[in-house]
Amino acid sequence: MDVVNPATGETVETYETDSSAEVEAKLDRATDAFETWRDRPLREREELLARAGEVLRENKHEYAETMTEEMGKPISQSIGEVEKCAWVCDHYAEHASAYLEPDGHPSPPGTRVKTVYDPLGPVLAVMPWNFPLWQVFRFAAPYLVAGNVGLLKHASNVPGSALAIEEVFREAGFPEGVFQTLLIPSSAVEDVLVDHRVRAATLTGSGPAGRAVASTAGDNLKKTVLELGGSDPFVVLDDADIEAAVETGTWARNLNGGQSCIAAKRFIVHTDVYDAFVDRFVSEVEALVVGDPTDEDTDVGPQARAGLMTELHEQVEASVEAGATVLTGGEPLDGDGAFYPPTVLADVPEGCPADTEETFGPVASVYEVDDEAAAIEKANDTEFGLGASVWTEDRHRGEAIARRIDAGCVYVNELVKSDPRVPFGGIKESGYGRELSEPGIKEFVNRKTVWVN
């Protein structure tokens, strides 16, 4: 696995993939580790997870630099990502006991009936490159503290980040085999997934990858959670605070170089405020600093790989050919590295790539609608259903509209985000299952009924 710095195009590190024998050994270690880890008192597992949070904070600059070098995330955002990973460790270290408390049920006199939550075993996680640490800790913190063990198949362009995560758990004192990284290509995932030692799988990634994992897991009757793509609407109504909507919308579209499933992608704006919003939005987008991701003043770094930038530009070109208007950006930047400028498209025709596909980079599509009903219709006019954002000064109106938008989460006067305290996940082509909060920790447990006479 060659690590290519997307800011320079230079190969900075090469990692050897695991051999078949090494994968076999790791699967055996996971199985052995589970037998003792599952019986470890929950309070001890919580304490180890809290220690993992401390390790993350102690080494946050080192881990942040690894992410930035591997996939181009601006260093300030990389540091923030490490801190968020520590937060999710803190959250489950504090709340896992409450989340996993057995639930009692009505029963005949003299009997006790309850549901207990037992771990399943080794869980395979197939994770993407865009948030190299956060995507992993989002599953690892709840699943490990619940008593499962983890096997990580990370994206091939971030092996250093994958090994850094393994290091975090090792330094925190987790027993050998409780969390392991598999340095394998995507072509080897199916063999691992069908192995009898693997009991469940979670994937964050593309629709085709999700379908492949779900199909294989289904054939083998294994539980899955899928978090797939998104084309999130950002709805700006006629009574919205335009300044706040512009400021947040600019960040919501361009955070992490626009490479986020829950980034705002389709800006649906009421005609009464359309011109004011678009003028300010374009100005804010043009003010973003694009450049060296190791510079703390940089807002937008390179795309994670040159090929990804090429695909993004092809989507823009096809949309323009179909009739879309480029208000700013729209062309790769000259020089080394995979730099694509923050871009705004207006007059986006129905059916073009910027309208129907997920643009996984800093490209915003802006639409003008006549009323609230049209805004809701356009928001739901997508195969995806991950997140949505609604902007209005009337909170009751915002909540009512949120209930009518087909998405796993809707935020009113806020950008869409994942937060350890609330469930996260999508519907339709954006996947199924939930991560985080109490539902997240209970996805991969055996909800066992225990009846005692």
Q: Which residues are catalytic?
A: 227, 261
Cα–Cα distance, 420 to 91 (Å, whole number): 7
**76 within 8 A of 301, measured Cβ to Cβ:** no
3-class secondary structure, 210: helix
**166 within 8 A of 131, measured Cβ to Cβ:** no
Helix axes 42-58, 75-99, angle to 10 degrees: 170
Phi, psi at residue 195, to the nearest 5°?
Answer: -60, 135
Cα–Cα distance, 224 to 349 (Å, whole number): 36
User: Which residues have a Cβ under 8 Å from the Cβ of 420 and sit 6 or more positions away?
Assistant: 87, 88, 91, 92, 141, 436, 437
With 0-12 / 13-18 / 19 or more C-beta atoms within 10 angstroms meaning exposed / middle / buried, residue 110 is: exposed
**150 within 8 A of 144, measured Cβ to Cβ:** yes
Query: Hey, how many other C-beta atoms are within 10 angstroms of the C-beta on 402?
Result: 17
Query: Residue by residue, what is the 3-state secondary structure of 16-52?
Result: CCCCHHHHHHHHHHHHHHHHHHCCCCHHHHHHHHHHH
**334 within 8 A of 340, measured Cβ to Cβ:** no
DSSP 106-166: ---TT-EEEEEEEE-SEEEEE--SSSTTHHHHHHHHHHHHTT-EEEEE--TT-HHHHHHHH
Side chain identity at residue 394, one-letter code:
D
Helix axes 159-172, 60-71, angle to 10 degrees: 160
Cα–Cα distance, 367 to 390 (Å, whole number): 14
